[in-house]
Amino acid sequence: MAKAVAFHGYRSSPSNIQWLTQPLLEAGFGVAAPVIRDVEDGYEAGLRELPVEVAAGHSMGGTVALLLAARNPGSVKCVAAVAAPVDRRLQLQYLLQSEDPYLRKLANHLASLGNKLELTSPSRFIGSNMPPVLYIRGSEDHVVPRTHVDILAGLSDKFNFPLEVVEVPGMGHSPQTEEQLRKIAEAVTRFVKSCI
């Protein structure tokens, strides 16, 4: 059976990303969804699952999926990332400008990581062996700005790997409505079938 690994976001859990794992299960993949604390921990958990056809994740989990593919050429056939920071230093700079208490707390957590931010940023490792990437984001995401899509698009142009970007109208950092869930499921299903 084809294998997928899916990572949840910061301070979340595998049960909170069933909207991401369900389309993979329905597409016929065996899905591993480890409980992770941070990007480093998620990366280590992901290494234990390799090789996989699909690495997927939401937010911090999407960062893990991108990092896993970037650092292990040939071990991941495609990546489906939802609202994922691609450059964690840039993400910290963005969050530091926010007045929102939750985002400030997130900024403090990232700031405490120091140079680990650089070492866990997918943008630092993406190269010519990057597999196809699906990047899904909400048009109203105020946690991870659109700049991260632009960085990924620039890397896609430079290193010539396929990138599909799907923007879900009205969605914030996570899907909330049936319509948003449907759009994500359709995009993920179509993408993984085209990759495998």
Residues contacting residue 127 through CB under 8 Å, at least 6 positions apart: 70, 73, 159
Write down the number of H helices and E strands in the chain.
Answer: 9, 6
Domains of the chain and CATH, by start: 3-195 (3.40.50.1820)
Q: From the centroid of its chain, how far is CA 33?
A: 13
Q: What is the pLDDT of residues 170-185, one digit of tens each?
A: 999 999 999 999 999 9
pLDDT recorded at residue 108: 93
For residue range 114-130, what is the model confidence (pLDDT) as tens digits?
999 999 999 999 999 99
Is the dihedral angle over the CA atoms 153, 73, 32, 78 positive or is it negative? positive
Does the predicted model carry a pTM greater than 0.95? yes
Closest by CA position to 60, among listed 24, 130, 113: 113
For 159-172, the pLDDT digits (tens) are 999 999 999 999 99
Element (H, E) at 185: helix 178-195
Q: Is pLDDT above 90 for 74? A: yes
Using CA atoms, how far apart are residues 15 and 30, in angstroms rounded to an integer?
16
Structure confidence at residue 170 (pLDDT):
97
